[in-house]
């Protein structure tokens, strides 16, 4: 290849200046004629001539490499006076020039360097100049596209780093203008190396969470987690799911959350809440069996083991705690502890102590689970409310904590009082709390359902009433639970009072009107001027008995007289075959009787419609008994005795009109508060045997009985001709009818017998009858084993003194005492000459008529108080001249009467108490505080100066 040019030299001071863009200083003869001519034309601004010259040179078939021509073109297109000025074109030509120059043989490159000159450095210089021009254009355009175009073309330009920075900045600013998570995602995908990436990612996560969950409903949070499983807002979404799904506080909801989110940080919280709620209605140990698939059970079992420890406070400059064996459980580190600890030990699952103006919550093995600043607030008390919640009262306000250490209501909310509201089928469902004198409602995990803006909040089964300025608004549990997901509750204060009609309906009152709401808060009886009395069921639909009052005035003897007439009706009124109103109504949960025009209609709870028969009379006696008299009855007719869920009984009417049938309802007397009260009925008929019936319709007795009383164990006291006896529910005679009075039923099952001013006893559970021979009611003492036979003993009185007899009236304790109390089967606690003693019962029945000091087993008790009593054990704190002691009716003397004071500290789990005893050594002015176990063994002993003792003293 040969270049068509002659050799010449360029001045080393050649500058390219064509009016600030291009000029050439040519010295001597210019070689490479065509290129030289073009450069000269360019210098003289003869653009068309320069272009033509260069085009011809490119068209020359003899030349295949045109490094000099392309170079000249790049100079042409960067001349600002050239009408075709184009940095992009110049850049393309400099690239072509560089490419051809690299392909030019070294010998020819040397000629080019001498002729034009054209060298690597000049090519690079021109390229960098073009880079600068292109970058300047991009900066002037100031768009992402301009910078990107520059970067796409000028792949090795020195300005690339700055161009990337400026491009990213512009792109980020544009993204910020859009401010959508989609825009930020696009930015991150497009510019992963941008310095704004972390900002974009943070904003992306925030906007994605907000956009996906803006509805606030449960589904949106689940959808968010599915779409963005790695989002930093995952925990927040899980917290919302937790708050919503557990708002009803059911065991199932906590278990479900734990199984759905086993890896969540909240799973442990759900298990903790579940564990403590479970124990409210189930045996605690069954939790680990019933819910064995849940996580964290090992740690819960460890916590349960720790909670079972009974801790006692002691003072060594600071407060610490020992366990019931005397071992240090928590070393001294607290300036103060709960006052209750000084009186009863640690009865709560957590330990509370104050140090450095912080309240510390610890497990019973000393691990801190929570510390709270209390500043000047004084720790007053800790109350276990239930379900694992603890109310910590401090200086007028408080904090609500869970036993796991979680804060449910913080101190900052200034809550002064809390109360747990039960659920209809749950031990607890809501937290009612007071702040600034107003009440609000929260879920068990602390989500606010109702802000504290109400005067009161009261639950009525499925209904919740909120009060403000004397007016009530009514909502239901479902609506309140939904507040956790959709807080849209608006109270309408319409009523002045409310009351439950039954578990499904609520009565609501205004000053004049009354309505009935169902559990969906629908008015099933309109708000009108009537009184709603009762709900019944007719044709599988609920109907309501209403009462209205009509007033009429009339003038009589110049006086205005107002008469009031009561009318009854059913709502809804569409009841075929029935009048629209009634003059009388009788009802209970079993029957509804209505009267109109001297005839009655009757509805039973197991009926689908009112009886097709009408009656002259209906009498409802109770929920088990009622009777009807047929319409237009005659002496040959019968009264129908209705027995709930049983077949009716026909009882003939008296033959004479002036004679009546008498129905006497009997209810079981002497039943414990938790016992079952049964009903019986005594039907007295003229010239006929009386009929005694159980509530199941069984006949107990058909005989001439004037009166009857019902008692537990299925026995009846009956009266015939002024005398009384006892029969069972089969009519069998248990006690002959020969006593003036039988009654005064005692918890142990005794019935007193009274005759001729003397008392005896009948013991239904043993069949013992002791004829009346004593001055006061006999009382049960115990059952002892005599000759391998269980024998009941009784406390009786003769000649003004008390003793103990057996079922055969043989003395086991002489009639010599001012009072006798049960102590154990061998020994009685007796009062003799104003002091109390333990006195031995006779080993075998024999007459013992006088006091015998040889039978004293413990004497000289001046006074005593009961510390504890269970079915098998009785503990007494006694006082003798030497001081206080403790007696146990199974162990005897536990603590010798030598202490200045004794306090029983009951162990909350094992019922094994610890005794706190005190002695004062006056000579040394020291208080000796001793903890002792049930055997009287010393657990812990320490002497305190008066000031230190004052800190430990229990003043409750």
For 520-583, list the strands marked E by DSSP. Answer: 523-528, 531-538, 541-556, 559-571
pLDDT higher than threshold 80 for residue 786: no
Residue 454 is predicted with a pLDDT of 98
pLDDT level of residue 636 (50, 70, 90 thresholds): low
Residue 267 is predicted with a pLDDT of 96
Residue 39 is predicted with a pLDDT of 85
Instruction: State pLDDT tens for residues 494-506.
Output: 999 999 999 999 9
DSSP secondary structure code for residue 342 in this structure: H
pLDDT level of residue 687 (50, 70, 90 thresholds): confident
Cα–Cα distance for residue pair 781/746, rounded to 1 Å: 12
633 vs 901, higher pLDDT? 901
The DSSP result for 217-272, as a single string, is -HHHHHHHHHH-TT-TTHHHHHHHHHHHHTTT--HHHHHHHHHH-TTSTHHHHHHH
Cα–Cα distance for residue pair 86/97, rounded to 1 Å: 16
Mean per-residue pLDDT, 468-474: 97
Mean per-residue pLDDT, 540-563: 84
Helix/strand/coil percentages in the chain, nearest 5: 25, 40, 35
Cα–Cα distance for residue pair 547/544, rounded to 1 Å: 10
- DSSP β-bridge partners for residue 311: 323
Residue 910 is predicted with a pLDDT of 64
pLDDT higher than threshold 90 for residue 679: yes
> What is the average pLDDT score of the chain?
89
Residue 376 is predicted with a pLDDT of 61
Instruction: State pLDDT tens for residues 917-933.
Output: 999 998 999 999 999 99
Lowest mean pLDDT among 5-19, 755-769, 864-878: 5-19
- DSSP β-bridge partners for residue 724: 719, 739
**Residue 278, Ramachandran bin (φ over 0: left; ψ between -120 and 50: alpha; else beta):** alpha
Residue 264 is predicted with a pLDDT of 95
Cα–Cα distance for residue pair 43/289, rounded to 1 Å: 99
CB 706 within 8 A of CB 720: yes
788 vs 481, higher pLDDT? 481
Residue 340 is predicted with a pLDDT of 87
Instruction: State pLDDT tens for residues 418-459.
Output: 999 999 999 999 999 999 999 999 999 999 999 999 999 999
Torsion sign, CA atoms 545, 546, 552, 556: positive
Lowest mean pLDDT among 78-82, 520-524, 785-789: 785-789
DSSP secondary structure code for residue 950 in this structure: H
Cα–Cα distance for residue pair 108/945, rounded to 1 Å: 113
pLDDT level of residue 695 (50, 70, 90 thresholds): very high
Residue 592 is predicted with a pLDDT of 95
- For residue 664, CA distances in Å to 346, 634, 705, 743, 852 come to 55, 24, 12, 18, 54
- For residue 435, CA distances in Å to 398, 413, 451, 480, 586 come to 10, 7, 9, 19, 47
Lowest mean pLDDT among 350-364, 549-563, 565-579: 549-563
232 vs 674, higher pLDDT? 232
Residue 955 is predicted with a pLDDT of 76
Angle between helices 160-178 and 181-190 (to 10 degrees): 170
């Amino acid at each position: 290849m040969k270049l068509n040019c002659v050799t010449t030299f360029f001045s080393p001071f050649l500058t390219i200046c064509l009016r600030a863009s291009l000029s050439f200083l040519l010295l001597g003869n210019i070689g490479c004629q065509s290129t030289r001519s073009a450069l000269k034309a360019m210098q003289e601004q003869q653009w068309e001539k320069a272009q033509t010259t260069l085009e011809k040179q490119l068209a020359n078939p003899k030349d295949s490499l045109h490094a000099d021509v392309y170079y000249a073109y790049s100079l042409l297109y960067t001349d600002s006076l050239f009408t075709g000025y184009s940095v992009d074109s110049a850049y393309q030509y400099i690239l072509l020039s560089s490419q051809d120059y690299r392909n030019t043989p070294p010998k020819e490159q040397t000629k080019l360097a001498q002729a034009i000159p054209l060298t690597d450095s000049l090519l690079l210089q021109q390229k960098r100049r073009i880079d600068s021009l292109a970058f300047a254009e991009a900066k002037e355009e100031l768009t992402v596209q301009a910078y990107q175009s520059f970067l796409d073309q000028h792949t090795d330009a020195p300005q690339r780093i700055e161009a990337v920075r400026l491009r990213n900045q512009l792109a980020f600013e544009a993204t910020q203008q859009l401010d959508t998570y989609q825009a930020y995602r696009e930015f991150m995908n497009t510019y992963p190396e941008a310095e704004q990436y972390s900002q974009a990612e943070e904003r992306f996560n925030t906007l994605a969470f907000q956009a996906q969950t803006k509805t606030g409903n449960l589904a949106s949070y689940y959808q968010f987690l599915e779409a963005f499983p790695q989002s930093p807002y995952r925990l927040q979404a899980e917290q919302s799911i937790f708050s919503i799904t557990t708002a009803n506080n059911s065991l199932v909801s906590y278990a479900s959350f734990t199984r759905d989110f086993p890896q969540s940080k909240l799973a442990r919280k759900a298990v903790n809440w579940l564990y403590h709620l479970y124990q409210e209605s189930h045996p605690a140990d069954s939790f680990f069996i019933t819910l064995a698939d849940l996580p964290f059970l090992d740690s819960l079992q460890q916590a349960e083991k720790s909670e079972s420890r009974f801790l006692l406070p002691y003072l060594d400059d600071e407060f610490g705690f020992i366990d019931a064996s005397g071992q240090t459980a928590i070393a001294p580190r607290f300036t103060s502890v709960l006052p209750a600890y000084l009186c009863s030990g640690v009865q709560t699952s957590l330990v509370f102590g104050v140090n450095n103006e912080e309240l510390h919550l610890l497990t019973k093995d000393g691990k801190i689970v929570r510390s709270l600043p209390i500043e000047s607030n004084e720790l007053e008390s800790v109350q276990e409310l239930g379900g694992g919640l603890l109310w910590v009262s401090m200086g007028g306000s408080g904090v609500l904590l869970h036993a796991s250490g979680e804060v449910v209501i913080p101190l900052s909310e200034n809550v002064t009082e809390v109360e747990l509201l039960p659920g209809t089928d749950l031990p607890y469902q809501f937290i009612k709390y007071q702040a600034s004198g107003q009440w609000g409602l929260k879920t068990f995990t602390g989500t606010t359902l109702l802000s504290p803006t109400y005067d009161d909040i009261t639950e009525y089964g499925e209904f919740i009433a909120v009060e403000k300025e004397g007016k009530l608004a009514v909502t239901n549990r479902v609506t309140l639970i939904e507040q956790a997901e959709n807080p849209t509750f608006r109270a309408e204060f319409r009523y002045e009072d409310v009351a439950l009609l039954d578990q499904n309906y609520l009565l609501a009152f205004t000053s004049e009107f009354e309505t009935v709401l169902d559990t969906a808060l629908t008015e099933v009886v309109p708000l009108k001027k009537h009184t709603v009395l009762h709900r019944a069921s007719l044709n599988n639909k609920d109907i309501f008995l209403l009462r209205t009052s009509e007033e009429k005035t009339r003038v009589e003897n110049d006086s205005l007289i107002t008469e009031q007439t009561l009318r009854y009706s059913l709502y809804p009124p569409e009841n075929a075959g029935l009048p629209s109103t009634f003059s009388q109504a009788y009802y209970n949960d079993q029957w509804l009787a209505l009267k109109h025009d001297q005839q009655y209609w009757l509805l039973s709870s197991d009926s689908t419609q009112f009886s097709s028969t009408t009656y002259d009379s209906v009498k409802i006696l109770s929920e088990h008994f009622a009777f009807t008299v047929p319409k237009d009855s005659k002496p040959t007719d019968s009264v129908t005795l209705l027995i709930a869920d049983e077949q009716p009984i026909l009882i003939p009417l008296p033959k004479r009109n002036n004679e009546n049938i008498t129905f006497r309802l009997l209810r079981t007397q002497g039943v414990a508060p938790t016992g079952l009260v049964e009903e019986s009925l005594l039907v007295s008929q003229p010239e006929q045997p009386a009929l005694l019936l159980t509530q199941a319709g069984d006949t107990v007795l058909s005989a001439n009985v004037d009166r009857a009383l019902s008692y537990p164990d299925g026995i009846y006291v009956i009266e015939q001709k002024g005398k009384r006896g006892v029969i069972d529910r089969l009519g069998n005679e248990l006690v002959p009818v020969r006593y003036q009075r039988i009654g005064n039923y005692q918890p142990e099952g005794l019935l007193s017998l009274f005759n001729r001013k003397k008392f005896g006893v009948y013991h239904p559970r043993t069949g013992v009858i002791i004829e009346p021979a004593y001055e006061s009611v006999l009382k049960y003492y115990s059952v002892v084993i005599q000759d391998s036979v269980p024998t009941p003993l009784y406390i009786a009185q003769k000649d003004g003194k008390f003793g103990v007899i057996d079922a055969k009236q043989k003395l086991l304790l002489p009639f010599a005492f001012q009072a006798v109390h049960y102590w154990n089967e061998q020994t009685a606690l007796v009062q003799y000459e104003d002091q109390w003693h333990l006195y031995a019962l006779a080993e075998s029945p024999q007459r013992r008529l006088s006091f015998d000091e040889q039978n004293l087993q413990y004497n000289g008790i001046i006074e005593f108080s009961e510390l504890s009593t269970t079915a098998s054990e009785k503990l007494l704190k006694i006082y003798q001249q030497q001081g206080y002691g403790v007696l146990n009716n199974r162990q005897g003397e536990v603590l010798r009467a030598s202490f200045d004071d004794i306090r029983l500290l009951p162990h909350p789990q094992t019922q094994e108490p610890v005794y706190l005893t005190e002695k004062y050594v006056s000579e040394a002015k020291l208080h000796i505080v001793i903890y002792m176990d049930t055997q009287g063994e010393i657990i812990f002993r320490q002497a305190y100066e008066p000031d230190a003792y004052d800190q430990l003293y229990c003043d409750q």
